Amino acid sequence: MRALHGERPEVTPVWFMRQAGRSLPEYRALRTSGTMLEACLDPAMASEITMQPVRRHGVDAAVFFSDIIVPLHLMGIDVEIAPGRGPVFAHPLRTAADISAAVAVDPARIFERGDAVADAVARTTVMLAEEGERRGEPLPLIGFAGAPFTLAAYLVEGGPSKDHLAARRLMLEDPAAWADLTAWLAEVAGTFLALQLEAGASVGQLFDSWVGSLAPDVYRAQVLPASRATLAAARRAAVPEGVDRFGFIHFGVGTGELLADMADTDVEGVGVDHRVPLDEAVRRIGRDVTVQGNLDPAFLFAPEATRTAAVEEVLRAGTAARAHIFNLGHGVPMDADPDAIGAVVRTVHAWRAG
């Protein structure tokens, strides 16, 4: 949290996107039955899965075990997470009438139906406090939400897409419907972040996984306002508890040309994927924020010496920013060796700026 707010601790903090689950054998042992959505909405299971990588890897923060489509499910939208594919929607939002019907649902329903999420967050913060006492340092919980564009890309397409053409087409064919959809999704995502923060999370990260498919001018005109609204709504929920207790990170994939715009959303940190070195990212951002990232996940499969050199290069590049939170440039691959992940943590914690 000190790093996120601009201090530079002697030891660089580290956590990983998708660190909860996927690559861990203890996760696979726990998830022997049931769907992904059922696991996300089982407080005991979600909190245990969230804690597994904290115990195994010694990372400095936990990221809540959930999925970006959970708030849409809580809103009553018919969606499932298909193994090997991802979110699949029974009724894509293809027309203005589809969108009009969807946005009529009040995002406050997330609070009305989100008891399981709030319970899981509360349980996890208690477990993190206990683990933090053993280590002698606090361990924050990172909550997250999908950004309006990424959620819209799934909703309009009906599932994953390589080019997100359906969403890009809608914003040009029917700008009014697109504006209605993304404004509503900003409320949905902001409410989901607020639910996690009010239940005990310390950080809210906004994931815009697919926004790298957009040109900068299109992003600024058609997407950035909704992302700003999402983070503003979440921050309004957090501020009464004290600004210094919370922080926000904005992350996207393939967003090298968008980094300055993503930082212009009242956030403390900007996540950078592995395509842009951190020192170059700092130059492009051009403002006083903490950077997060950005080891290429492929290095988790490299020989030890190669991996260590890559980690140290990311750490050196991160000194260009006011502070640096080490992470991958995207999520942990599901077939990554947990021992390699742990080795990265040890390398980061042992490194000191020259």
Q: What pLDDT does residue 268 have?
A: 96
What pLDDT digit, counting tens, does each position of 242-277 carry? 556 789 999 999 999 999 999 999 999 999 999 999
Q: What pLDDT does residue 238 have?
A: 67
166 closest CA partner among 177, 155, 176, 175: 155
Whether residue 60 contacts residue 13, with contact meaning beta carbons closer than 8 Å, is answered with yes
Domains and CATH numbers, the chain: 25-274 (3.20.20.210)
- How does DSSP classify residue 14? B
Q: Which of 154, 261, 264, 307 is catalytic?
A: 154
Q: What pLDDT does residue 105 have?
A: 96
Q: What pLDDT does residue 187 have?
A: 97
Catalytic site includes residue 27: no
Catalytic site includes residue 261: no
What distance in Å separates the CA atoms of residue 250 and residue 260, rounded to the nearest whole number?
Answer: 11
Q: What pLDDT does residue 324 have?
A: 98
Q: What pLDDT does residue 222 have?
A: 96
Vertex 210: Cα angle to 280 and 335 (nearest 5): 85
Q: Are strands 247-252 and 324-328 parallel, antiparallel or unpaired?
A: unpaired
Q: What pLDDT does residue 83 have?
A: 83
Catalytic site includes residue 154: yes
Please give the C-alpha separations between residue 272 and each of 60, 66, 70, 263, 280, in angstroms, as whole numbers.
19, 21, 24, 11, 10
Catalytic site includes residue 22: yes
Q: Which of 27, 56, 60, 67 is catalytic?
A: 67
In this prediction, the residues of the chain whose per-residue pLDDT falls under 50 are none
Q: What pLDDT does residue 21 have?
A: 79
Return the amino acid letter for 122.
Answer: A
